Structure 1
Amino acid sequence: MKTILVTGASSGMGYRIAHNLAAAGYQVFGAARHVDRMEPLKTVGVIPLQLDVTDEASRTAAVHQLIQRAHRIDAVVNAAGYGSFGAQETVIDAEAKQQFEVNVFGLMALTRLVLPYMRKQQSGRIINISSMAGRFSSPMAGWYFASKHALETLSDSLRMEVRRFGIKVILIEPGVVKSRWEAIAMQHLQQSAAGTAYEAQARAMQRNMDHTYASKHASHPELIARTVQKALESKHPRARYLIGYLAKPTVWGTQFLPTALKDWLIPKFM
């Protein structure tokens, strides 16, 4: 039985990933700050772990508990993360740093803790939940997009570093997925923009984002969970899985547009 650690397992994509993998027969440790929210996952065999990815002691304790019980770790699905939107002029330093602490530094620190076990096994998979945001840029969301760009670059570098140990590094890049993520991102956006020159722009962005995420076309977290399982079970997984509503047309379109056209089009799209 392969042992999988899924972070961010208390809600959204992380919850669905942990649920589906446990139901498929994997030994799944679901990790999150709010352990009580993972209680329903116990019915399919998920083992809850308390984990704050930004806290060194919490990270060390979670990995220690997993190894003590399972004696190995075959994969980590780094699904913990959040979006904090706002204009760069209005986002305070503490919030910008927190965005990177969760989405980049905490994620990579946890990954460093499991790599020695995977090297010893000469096998393992690191699956990082990134975003289509890691492939282009947007106004009013610079710090979030920057955190995903950083995760993409670090994952590419790590993939080349550890492949000789039998470890594969995989990026999942979702588009629009129904979850609490959008509501949290928009809350941060409105808080940072209130009373500033960006307030009207923030309101317009929220209207558009609310409409997009409420669309019947928005993807369900189930799609992400199925893709993660595919990446786990494929003999030769892809380095990137760009999936979900609007992901491919958005990324492919922005790759080939001139910069001036992107600067005009993307704010309208967002």
Structure 2
Amino acid sequence: MQNRKVILITGASSGIGYATAKLLLEEKHIVYCTARRVDKMQELQKLGGKVLYVDVTDEKTLKQAVQIIIGTENRIDVVFANSGYGCTGALETVDIEDAKAEFDVNLFGVARTIKAVMPQMRKQGYGHIIVTSSLAGIVSTPIMPYYPASKQALEGMIDGFRMETEKFGIKVVKIQPYFVDTSFIIPAMQTLSKAATSESATAYKEQIAAFKKNFTKLITSSQQAVKVAKIVSRIISTKNPKRQYSVGIRCTLLKIVKRTLGNWAVDKIMIKRFLDK
């Protein structure tokens, strides 16, 4: 394989995807930056990024993007399936259609991305598929139950997929960041505002207010997206990367707490962190 890799990134218009695309372009890789908001990727284009419109809920756009990459480069070395967003609100207050939309991006969007690239990667007999999971794939969060649900489903799906593809020479890796200071907070707050108007929201009024305050503080004081980008860079230059990478000491500690003390301890930590007034 060439040192200069051909890389497809979904969700490259902001946050982790944007930071990773920027870093990999600086490292002189060939980076196809994809998202719905192509106008947000102009700076990446100036750095040499190849910008394509992709909506991970639309399989056709993914297939078209992959065809363009193969037609131009004759290979795809790395796929970073990164698209996702957070839907917030107490379970009782979130519209089921909004919850389905989150799964459509966070779970099935990753599945569509993988399905689009696998024929080429099988043909090549090599490649890296890197997926953005989350600490939420391990522990859940109050007033945000559907986001962890989507990430925990993603964890299960990718673990099974990794076993299926072992014989093809493809490395499948999960990244599990703790919270990252990105525009992730914008859709999270938008969906929280919508959930707060539901008929049952009054029962959760104090919890929603506490969550909003604590969640905002947590995101704005969290690690920068470039920390995740550096891990992606390390993974793609590693012949045999680990199956998963935790990002941030708090992620590692919470995983240890759950493994050693169980859900009761995790519940206490998460309630205090998100619902403490």
Structure 2 unaligned segments of length 5 or more: list them: none
Alignment of 1:185-200 (within 5 A): 185-194=188-197, 196=201, 197-200=203-206
**Matched residue count:** 268
d(CA) in 2 for partners of 1:236, 1:262: 32
Secondary structure, counterpart of 1:178 in structure 2 = coil
- Distance in 1 (CA, whole Å) between partners of 2:192 and 2:249 is 22
Q: 2:104 aligns with which of 98, 101, 116?
A: 101
CA, structure 1 residues 190+267, in 2 after alignment: closer, same or farther (shift >3 Å)? farther
TM-score, normalised via structure 1 length: 0.95
Secondary structure of the structure 2 residue equivalent to 1:73: coil
Aligned equivalent of 1:155, options 154, 158, 169: 158
- Given that residues 258 and 265 in structure 2 are in contact (C-alpha distance below 8 angstroms), is that contact kept between their aligned partners in structure 1? no
Contact 1:219-1:245 at 8 Å conserved across structures: no
**Residue 199 of structure 1: how far off its partner (Å):** 2.3
Determine the C-alpha separation between the residues in 1 that align with 2:224 and 2:263: 32
Instruction: Sort the Cα spacing of 1:261 and 1:225 in 2 relative to 1 into closer, same or farther, 3 A.
Output: closer
Instruction: Call closer, same or farther: CA 1:260–1:226 in 2, change over 3 Å.
Output: closer
> Which aligned pairs between 1:51-130 and structure 2 lie closer than 5 A?
51-130=54-133
2:26 maps to which of 20, 23, 26: 23
Report the residue type matching 1:210 in the other structure: T
Are the aligned partners of 2:254 and 2:266 in contact in 1 as well (CA < 8 Å)? no
Distance 1:180 1:211 in 2: 13
Distance 1:191 1:245, change over 3 A: farther
Alignment match, 2:207: 201
8 Å CA contact retained: 1:190, 1:203: no
Do the aligned partners of 2:91 and 2:146 also contact (CA within 8 Å) in 1? yes
- Structure 1: gaps (5+ residues): none
Worse overlay, 259-268 or 104-113: 259-268
Kept in 2, the 8 Å contact 1:190–1:202? The answer is no
Give the stretch that moved more between structures: 64-73 or 193-202: 193-202
| Aligned counterparts, 1:113-262, within 5 A | 113-194=116-197, 196=201, 197-215=203-221, 218-244=222-248, 246-262=250-266
User: What secondary structure, in the 3-state scheme, does the structure 2 residue paired with 1:58 have?
Assistant: helix
Q: Quote how far apart the aligned CAs of 1:194 are.
A: 3.1
TM-aligned CA deviation for residue 26 of structure 1: 1.0
Counterpart amino acid of residue 212 in structure 1: L
The verdict on how the C-alpha distance between 1:119 and 1:193 changes in structure 2, with shifts beyond 3 A counting, is: same
Report % sequence identity.
38
CA RMSD of aligned residues (A): 1.4
Q: Which amino acid aligns with 2:272?
A: K
* Inter-CA distance 262–225: structure 2 relative to 1 (3 Å threshold): closer
Q: Secondary structure at the match of 1:89?
A: helix
Q: Which region of structure 1 is more displaced relative to structure 2, 72-81 or 260-269?
A: 260-269
- Cα distance in 2 for partners of 1:113, 1:68 equals 14
Q: Offset at 1:245?
A: 5.7
| Alpha-carbon separation, structure 2, partners of 1:10 and 1:223 | 17
Deviations 1:88-113 (A, max 9, x none): 11111110110000001121111111
1:269 aligns with 2:267: no
After the TM superposition, which residues 7-18 of structure 1 pair with which residues of structure 2 at under 5 Å, given as runs?
7-18=10-21
Q: TM-score, normalised by structure 2?
A: 0.93
